[in-house]
Amino acid sequence: MSNVVLVGATGDIGKSIHECLKHEDIITFSNRKTPELNSTHHYLDLSRPFTESELEVCFAGVDSVDTLIFTPGEALFELIQDTTLEQVDGQYNVSVRALITFIKVLLPKLRRSERASIIVISSVWGTYGASMESIYSTFKGAQETLVKSLAKELAPSNITVNAVAPGVVRGKMTLKLSEEDIAMMLEDLPQGRLIEPGEVASAAEYLISDNARSITGEVLKINGGWYT
């Protein structure tokens, strides 16, 4: 049985990952909601800066961690001139600062595992960028660069570091779009359908398996051929 830390456990993708890994020992984090499945749960607002000391308290008594899975993301549909700096700070805190803080705190525990892995759920826009989502895309892109850099940095410690970059996933973020916008998007998608959260969860499950020990520094695209 593995020790897994799942950040963003109550989002659509996070819930699907939790379901895939429900038989593992899981420590979960979310802002307000409580996970439906069993875990050791902590509430944490990632949109505000928090210290390493605050986070270390949540792992008191935990000697080693096998996997960190980081899923949070906040949709932000705005032109850059209409985006406030407070919104920019919130996006940075959720996608970059919180991720780095978790990695810094968990790194000694990951190094004690014989098959440690870090998986970041990024986005298609982190690679290709998106109009009206420039700030969101910026920090998702930062996640992917961090993944590629840390894969090299942590390879001697036998820690794999990968990202999964979904396209348009069925869930709360997509439902913020109008029916007209979703219909137009489906016309642009080669497969003509939305990605199910379980498809992303299955990719994450594979990346933490023994069969993926030589896969590191990769951004696995799940977008139905939208961007190749």
Residues acting as catalytic residues: 136
Q: 25-30 and 116-121 as β-strands: parallel, antiparallel, unpaired?
A: unpaired
Q: Which residue has the tokens 């396209």?
A: 167
Q: Which residue has the tokens 């799942």?
A: 6
Residue 108: partners with Cβ closer than 8 Å, 6 or more residues away? none
| Cα–Cα distance, 216 to 14 (Å, whole number) | 21
Degrees to nearest 5, angle at CA 137 with 34 and 117: 55
